[in-house]
Amino acid sequence: MSIKENTFGAEITSEDIIDTLGFFDDWEERYKYIIDLGKELPAMDDKKKNEHFLLRGCQSQVWIDHELKDGVLLFEADSDAHIVRGLLGMVLAAYNHKTPEDILAFDIEGYFQQVDLVKHLSPTRGNGLRAMVQKIKDTAAAA
């Protein structure tokens, strides 16, 4: 079963997200935007919501699949929590449709600092976010 392609990383980029989040004055509006971002992620097939694709280290359930196609990594991800789907969207905007080398070279911490994200997440959400990033970096390193 191949992955469901999505526009994150191609049409919705990390730069777009940085720009959009910059328009909002408070974090309540930013959270709403992040949740809306997650609504744009296509739902993962229920057959893939199993132990094989489950990401360890997240408070919510998160599933990630990938495929290497024409030298770039394509990711499909889903979660049972709205805010986490949005965080997945933010991560995929940075990493999806990129070469393994580009993924490993991308300054994800700088990206999160630009949007002032990590300090506005609970410690468990922050750990989950780091687990998502690590899974994608490990996938890129192995590709």
To the query of whether residue 52 is one of the catalytic residues in this protein, the response is: no
Residues in the chain: 143
Select from 72, 74, 53, 73 the least CA-distant residue to 64: 53
Residue 28 has which token pair? 């309540």
Indicate which residue of 58, 81, 92, 136 is catalytic.
58
Instruction: Collect all residues with Cβ–Cβ distance below 8 Å to 65 and sequence separation of at least 6.
Output: 3, 44, 48, 53, 75, 76, 77
> Would you name the residues annotated as active-site residues?
58
